[in-house]
A and B are shown apart, each in its own frame.
Chain A
Amino acid sequence: MFEGTLNSFSSFAADTELRRQCNRTRRIGYLNGDVVANALSESSGINARVFRGGRCGFSSSPETDLAAAERVLKAASDNARFLADHLPEIGKPLPPRTVTSFTGKWEEDTTSQREILEFLGQIDGYLASRYPNLVSRYVGCSCLSLEKELKTNDGVYAYSFLPRSNVALSLTAMTEEGTPVERVQIFGGSGVFARNFSDPALLYPEIDRLVEELMQKREGVFADAGRKTCIIAPELSGMLAHEAVGHTAEADFVISGSVAGPYRGKEVASPLVTLTDFANTFRGQTLPTPIYVDDEGTLARDAVLIDGGILTGWMHNRSSANRYGDTPTGNALAFGFADEPLIRMRNTAILPGTDTLSDMVSSIDDGYYFTATGNGQADATGEFMFGITMGYEIKKGKLGRALRDTTVSGVAFDVLKTVDMISDQMVWLNSGMCGKKQPFPVGMGGPHVKCKMNVGGK
């Protein structure tokens, strides 16, 4: 850990951020018993961003000593001057940051590569011996940590450490027609490996359930295409919150013309829907991606995007908050040492309601229950799609046959207006990476949500 290394910088010539950062990753994987990945990686460096005339100069270096810090400060300042010399001044000056000092907790990653290999090897052995008819099995581990230290011209100091560790399984079986079907499941979340995983056997019940689902899917049917009543599990309601609504409420996207722009203060969803991008804590629970001070030095606060169906606000960095006259929310985050902070989500979710899942299933005569997704995308119009990798028919209030892979789509605000039941459960997930110029590990979650969506079928 490098807490305190920026302390030798006590003053800066302009509105400046100086950030040191180290990202560490591990990737280990078995494919059908062979070790196909066994890698350790580290990427560290220092960067500076200097504001001048409403624009920024940025520079980064993989070296992290005092001389490198001086170099990036000068280069960032030169870049800011180049823009100022060639382009007119824009915007009003940014107000100073609230003076903050935050020191997050470092967590030593005490598990060795050998221990993780052995852990995964045991899981692979369990799968190979218990389920020999699987045509393919991948057992992998992915660990990522972001360690950052930030200092600004107006006295903000922040040290943060953001670790996550996940074990992923990808299992493939063949149908009678000879076509492969697959189930993927990711375990773990926030924290170093030892915090999430102690004994492989603790995962065996989950693995058995996954194989059972795969066998159901092997016998599964294709969904009927068309607009259907659906229940989406937390994995999907989190994706809906993040992809379909969250991105349209990022202030930089609003400035560019996101569909959400004209609807602030207006009804965009059922009154049952409240949707928030949480900074770090929900009902006393630390969230998957806890952000206390963002990478511009802003104290992070929750951004309520939809409150009782009304679109209430945006996620901001300093500049966009200044433009809209809002309070900065602390959503400016950078993935690597060479990356500038962008407005992006932290932990985004629809809040739980009062219904039970069984009541929700009972209420549907002909529809679908979607439980797992492979990916999701949305765009400026709020139109989204999610790949569905596990789901079931609902017929006359009961769960029916499993489904093969399909896709669902809709327009976010239209779909949210059809929500008529929300479960009382709340599940948080921490394996997603958001892509927006740079990747970033995000948390998302939510309850089960009943709504109407377009289902792609055969």
Chain B
Amino acid sequence: MNLEQIARKGLEYLTAEGATDGECLVYRGTKIEFNYSSGTLDLLRTVDSVAVAFKALVGTKKGTASLNSLEDADLRRAAKDAVSSAKISKEDPAEGLPEEIVQKSFSAGPLTPDKEEMLRLFNGFFAELQEKYPQISVDSATIAHSVGERVFCTTNGIRLTQRYGGYSFSPMFMAREGESTSSFNYFSALFLNPDRPLLDLAGGRQVVEDTLLQINPVSMEGKFEGEVIFTPACFGDLLGSVEGNFLSDGALIDGTSIWKDKIGKPVAAPCFQWSCRPRSEELAGGCFVTGGYEAKDSDLIKNGILQDFVLSRYGAKKTGLSRNPSGGGFYFVDAGDKSLNDMISTVRHGLLVGRFSGGSPAGDGTFSGIAKNSFEIRDGKITNAVSETMISGNLAQMLLDITEISAERINDGTCVLPWVKVKNLTVSGQ
């Protein structure tokens, strides 16, 4: 049976067990991965995967079950588990199936791995490090190719199929000199064609060169309010917290989002444009389907004004607001008009922050944490790497305090983001 036939069989089992409605997602895929650890390329790994996920509705009561087998007896058992769970659950009028009846298939990316080319690129990465950046010590790295097919069917007639193939690369490393070691650093990239040196993906070369300058960081002393420039990867992580704390189902359903009444109102500096674009052709790792719907791009903040939340179908029903068609993630922030160098040149005293290592921001967005892989900026110049330096602020205020956005952006295959300068963040040392 093909995956669609298995999904339809799964729906039959849900109905036979007493579900009034149901969803079935079936996945099959293969991953091949070269793995570097403990100082050597030590592992070649192939992984075959299957997965089936059921959602059963009995009226508006929901139950779910998942397994990793396509065997008929296992499907029957999991369908029964899902329906049994639904029967004992609580009525929730917000539960239901996606209403848009769509039948579509999507396909993207190379479905067959080029193993020899993967190994050549991987070896080339280490050879280039050894030749040009010998102080870099790689802790772990993987290059992988994944291919998979995913079929989503519902009892109300939806069928969405997507096939995807693509490569990924992810190294973690540090710089060493004598007994001194930098903080670890990393980058990751999704890509469709294994035709470029791996160091040229996702701004990796800059990350490596910055790491070399972080072997002997200086502990900052005292405390000041200053300007902080976040790298694209670091700013992307902070945007993830913004989505989680202010825009997502949980924060809006329980009413704790401080942006719950902010649609159409300013929440960021006017220069800030933020969107989710899962369908962008610029991304190697975009997606076609989210939450049982065909995914569509969506603006979150335009000219500093909040356009939409990131609610799922359930979250939308629960709050009476509209569902976001993107499903979240896949962030794009529009480029500004200044170069990174120009942005640095106007900082009197502040930081260039490569990674934020902090506790989860509080519900109101208050955050504090260590500035890792970061540099001090004085009078428009980067002076030294820093250690034991904390930054604190508030996510919501941070977006209002954006002063500049770089013209340069980094595309890691999942997001396209610039460097972003923010004023009035608290920086404290020992």
Contacts and interface: CB of A to CB of B under 8 A. Distances in A.
A91 B40 CA distance: 10
A40 B428 contact: no
A376 B168 CA distance: 27
B181 A407 contact: no
Contacts of A80: 44
A204 interface: no
Interface stretch (A152-160, A161-169, A254-262): A254-262
Contact of B38 (A256, A383, A458): A256
A32 B315 CA distance: 13
Interface string A437-458: 1000000000000000010111
Most B-side CB within 10 Å, residue of A39, A58, A136: A39
Interface string B67-111: 111000000001001101110111010100000000000000000
Interface in B369-426: 369-370, 372, 387-388, 390, 392, 426
Interface stretch (A12-20, A177-185, A188-196): A177-185
Contacts, number: 242
Contacts of B67: 41-43
A387 B44 contact: no
A87 B357 contact: no
Interface in B40-76: 40-50, 61-69
Contacts of A319: 38, 42
Given A39-B64, A56-B43, A407 B369 contact: yes
A454 B390 CA distance: 9
Interface string B253-281: 11110100000000000000000000000
A59 B43 CA distance: 10
Interface in A216-270: 225-227, 251-253, 255-259, 262
A289 interface: no
B181 A258 contact: yes
A105 interface: no
Interface in A103-118: 113-114, 117
B174 interface: yes
A38 B369 contact: no
A258 B174 CA distance: 9
Interface in B109-127: 115, 119
B366 A405 contact: yes
Contacts of A371: none
Nearest to A80: B44
A389 to B, nearest CB: 7
Nearest to A373: B359
B320 interface: no
Contacts of B61: 35
B66 A39 contact: yes
B38 A38 contact: no
A179 B257 CA distance: 9
B211 to A, nearest CB: 11
Give the size range of B's interface with the partner: 35 or more
B44 A79 contact: yes
A52 to B, nearest CB: 10
Contacts of B359: 373-375, 385-389, 405-407
A40 B370 contact: no
Interface stretch (B133-141, B151-159, B228-236): B133-141
A385 B255 contact: no
A180 B42 contact: no
Interface string A72-110: 000100011011001100110000000000000000000
B46 A79 contact: yes
A136 to B, nearest CB: 4
Given A114-B88, A405-B366, A256 B256 contact: no
Contacts of B369: 385, 387, 407, 409, 456
Contacts of B187: none
A90 B40 contact: yes
A41 B65 contact: yes
A405 B362 contact: yes
A44 interface: yes
A136 B254 contact: yes
Contacts of B88: 113-114, 117
Contacts of A342: 37
Contacts of B360: 374-375, 387
Given A256-B137, A407-B368, A83 B44 contact: yes
B387 A383 contact: yes
A386 B370 CA distance: 10
Given A62-B50, A409-B388, A456-B392, A172 B37 contact: no
Nearest to A137: B254
B90 A34 contact: yes
A124 to B, nearest CB: 10
A225 B176 contact: no
A42 B81 CA distance: 11
B282 interface: no
Contact of B184 (A178, A373, A379, A457): A379
A323 B78 CA distance: 46
A220 to B, nearest CB: 11
A262 B49 CA distance: 42
Interface in A333-390: 338, 340, 342, 373-375, 377, 379-381, 383, 385-389
Contact of B256 (A63, A180, A251, A255): A180
A55 interface: yes
B137 A86 contact: no
Contacts of B138: 256
A386 B363 CA distance: 17
Interface string B163-191: 00000000000101001011110000000
B251 to A, nearest CB: 9
B213 to A, nearest CB: 14
Contacts of B341: none
B250 interface: yes
Most A-side CB within 10 Å, residue of B47, B64, B82, B179: B47
B89 A87 contact: no
B182 A57 contact: no
Given A38-B64, A458-B392, A385 B358 contact: yes
A430 interface: no
B362 A181 contact: yes
Contacts of A60: 45-48
Nearest to B254: A136
Contacts of A33: 90
Contact of A42 (B68, B92, B139): B68
A431 interface: no
B389 to A, nearest CB: 9
Contacts of B362: 179-182, 404-405
A75 B68 contact: no
A1 interface: no
A34 B62 CA distance: 11
Contact of A32 (B137, B254, B370, B390): B254
B430 interface: yes
Given A135-B256, A407-B368, A113 B84 contact: yes
Contacts of A83: 41, 44
Nearest to B31: A338
Most B-side CB within 10 Å, residue of A79, A256, A340, A383: A256
B139 A257 contact: yes
Contact of B41 (A31, A55, A255): A55
B358 A407 contact: yes
A120 to B, nearest CB: 11
A383 B94 CA distance: 46
Given A79-B46, A257-B174, 20 more contacts: A35-B61, A35-B92, A38-B64, A39-B64, A54-B40, A55-B40, A59-B46, A62-B50, A75-B46, A82-B44, A113-B81, A172-B254, A172-B363, A180-B362, A180-B363, A256-B39, A319-B38, A380-B184, A385-B357, A457-B368
| Smallest CB-CB A-B distances: 6 pairs | A387-B359, A180-B363, A456-B368, A136-B254, A179-B364, A256-B139
7 contacts: A40-B78, A55-B42, A82-B44, A383-B388, A405-B366, A456-B369, A457-B368
